[in-house]
Amino acid sequence: METHRGRLIDHLHLKVRDLEASKRFYKAAMEALGVPLVEGADHFFADELWVDVGPAVAHVHFAFQARDRATVDRFHAAVLAAGGRDNGAPGERDYHPGYYAAFAFDPDGNNVEAVHHGPHNRSADSVHITW
């Protein structure tokens, strides 16, 4: 069996209680990451992320890719300023060498991460696991 790391998720759909509060949080996150956010009357989206109003099914954890450590830092500062709650300041994590991340809870309690895989990790597009 051969696994190729890279894009696995087709889309992520979040149901939120307060669309405006969530829009502030995710707009700040997307601006820090350099990803455009598109707003509709009753939803917004950015690439594979779709958000609209409804009862939250469960709290989830997900991570956005960041191009460098400075982007992780900007993400963390931006989402906290936009109403997020800190769940881990920017810094190296022991998941693998070069793993640099920051975490924040969004307005609905989802654990949102921005991560940069530093120079000790091969590019996500070139990692192949065979077993």
Separation CA 115–CA 93 (nearest Å): 10
Considering its fold, how many domains does the chain have in total? 1
The pLDDT of residue 3: 46
In a domain, 3, yes or no: no
Separation CA 53–CA 42 (nearest Å): 7
Q: Domain with 28 in it: what CATH number? A: 3.10.180.10
What is the span of the domain harbouring residue 117? 10-130
How many CB atoms lie under 10 A from the CB of residue 51?
23
In a domain, 111, yes or no: yes
**Is 129 within 8 Å of 2 (Cβ atoms)?**
yes
pLDDT grade, residue 119 (50/70/90)? Answer: confident
Average pLDDT value for the chain? 87
pTM for the full predicted model: 0.84
**55 in helix, strand or coil?**
coil
Predicted confidence (pLDDT) at residue 16 exceeds the cutoff of 80? yes
In a domain, 4, yes or no: no
Task: Say how many CA atoms lie within 13 Å of 45 toward its Cβ.
Answer: 9
Predicted confidence (pLDDT) at residue 2 exceeds the cutoff of 80? no
Strand locations in 54-110, DSSP E? 61-65, 85-92, 99-105
Predicted confidence (pLDDT) at residue 130 exceeds the cutoff of 90? no
In a domain, 5, yes or no: no
